Amino acid sequence: MLESISKYDLPVGVEIRHLVALEAVAQTGSFSQAATRLGYAQSAISQQISALERAVGHRLVERPGGPRSVSLTEAGKVLLEHAGHIVARLAAAKADLDAMAAGDAGILRVGTFQSASARLLPPTLAQFRTAWPNINIELRNEPVINQIEGLIRSGQADLAFADIAGLDDAHAMVELIRDPSVLITAPTHRLAQADTVELSELEGERMISMPSNDFCALRVARALERVGVSPKIVFRSDDNLTTQRLVAIGLGVAIVPLLTVERSIPDAQVAIRGLSASLDRQIGIIWHRDRLQSRAAEAFIATAMQISLDVEMPKVPSMSSSG
């Protein structure tokens, strides 16, 4: 056995705890903080990093001494990239083993985000729980939709609602609905009665946006840039209703997915206008392509697909949030 391993020239002295320690040191910039995070003594972290350096034959951590933060060498950064994938795959493997042991009982972990949680998740859960009463659903809601991918990649979620446009091949996926972006304005705004709004008409407008790293915000920013519009972002919010309320009082306009707009809240009345540009969000369910799917996970996906057929999307542009 040792001969068959050695011919691959693998760093056989590397242990998972060494890689976890490297991640913690990189994230905290400190041996002592890494030790606190992982529940070790500081000396144990130092020993694990030293053992890892001996195993791979490279210095991985710069140790400046004193109060200055430690940092990774170039070799350390290279290994950290691989370490993240290795630790994530092991977490996913454990999740597969747990699911296999549970059979038709146990836990199904589902990642979600605001508008999916509000519109797609409740009816899906209601129908699924009737058919699978012995499955306990654990939900993980992420304020920024981009973070959903990490839950799947690391094995922290078995399935997740996500914006599937542009996702890589690491994920298997199924589309549920198309969610067009719309312009929302205060009811008295100059564009409130427009049939369809050209993006170029937003030049000079004060705008409220999602966080800058959100998929939807990035999609809107690129579209505005293509038509030469430089938005004046006056506020960013990861809460859909906060954005809508600020638009309603006239702080600015916003381009948002239609599914996020609430039409029956008294202090959030806005005009909703269609856009000439197509900025559809593709909402679907994703899962890790290399993970085994339990029967419960397959049933949840099928249930969500059925529910999505009955989701009533408002029509644009001839409507307002009060109509």
Q: Which of 56, 88, 120 is the last residue of a domain?
A: 88
Question: Do 83 and 132 fall into the same domain?
Answer: no
Clarify whether residues 159 and 295 are in a common domain: yes
| Sheet-wide strand order for 159-163 | 135-141, 106-112, 159-163, 281-288, 171-179
Please state whether the peptide bond connecting residue 187 to the residue before it is cis, i.e. omega within 30 degrees of 0.
no
- CA–CA separation, 49 and 130 (whole Å): 50
128 shares its domain with 260: no
Q: Say if residue 4 is exposed, middle or buried (CB neighbours under 10 Å; 0-12, 13-18, 19+).
A: exposed
Predicted pLDDT at 216: 84
Rounded to two decimals, the pTM is 0.64
Q: Where are the alpha helices (DSSP H) in the chain?
A: 2-6, 16-28, 31-38, 42-56, 74-102, 114-119, 121-131, 148-153, 215-226, 240-248, 295-308
Find the Cα–Cα–Cα–Cα dihedral 247, 248, 251, 253, rounded to 10°: 30
Q: What angle do CA 301, 304, 306 make, to 5 degrees?
A: 110
For residue 253, give the DSSP letter: B
* C-alpha span between 233 and 29 (Å, rounded): 33
Residues 261, 172 within the same domain: no
Residues 146 and 185 in one domain: no
Tokens 């890494």 sit on residue: 34
Residues 57 and 33 in one domain: yes
Measured CA to CA, the distance from residue 47 to residue 41 in angstroms comes to: 10
| Domain co-membership, 199 together with 270 | yes
Domains of the chain: total: 3
pLDDT at 207: 96
What per-residue confidence (pLDDT) applies to 300?
95
Confidence (pLDDT) at 253: 96
Per-residue pLDDT of the chain (323 residues; tens, 9 = 90+): 445 544 545 566 778 888 888 888 888 888 888 888 888 888 888 888 888 888 888 888 888 877 778 888 998 888 888 887 777 777 766 766 666 565 555 789 999 988 787 788 999 999 999 999 989 999 988 766 667 888 888 778 899 998 888 777 678 899 999 888 999 999 999 999 888 899 999 999 999 998 888 888 888 999 999 999 988 999 999 888 999 999 999 999 999 999 888 888 888 999 999 998 888 888 999 998 877 778 899 999 999 999 988 877 666 644 444 44
Which CATH number goes with the domain that contains 44? Answer: 1.10.10.10
Quick one: tokens of 114? Answer: 């605001």
Q: Which candidate, 280, 98, 104, 88, places its Cα nearest to that of 182?
A: 280
User: How far apart are the C-alpha atoms of 309 and 21, rounded to whole Å?
Assistant: 47
Same domain, 258 and 116: no
Same domain for 44 and 10, yes or no, is yes
State which residues form the domain around 264: 179-281+315-320
Q: Are residues 30 and 65 in the same domain?
A: yes
Pick the last residue of a domain from 88, 114, 136.
Answer: 88
Q: Residues 168, 197: one domain?
A: no
* Residues 23 and 162 placed together within one structural domain of the fold: no
Burial class, 8, CB count within 10 angstroms (exposed 0-12 / middle 13-18 / buried 19+): exposed
Among residues 25, 59, 88, the one where a domain terminates is: 88
The pLDDT of residue 227: 93
Long-range contacts of 122-130 (CB under 8 A, 24+ apart): 123/307, 123/310, 124/300, 124/303, 124/304, 124/307, 127/303, 127/306, 127/307, 128/299, 128/300, 128/303
* CATH at residue 247: 3.40.190.10
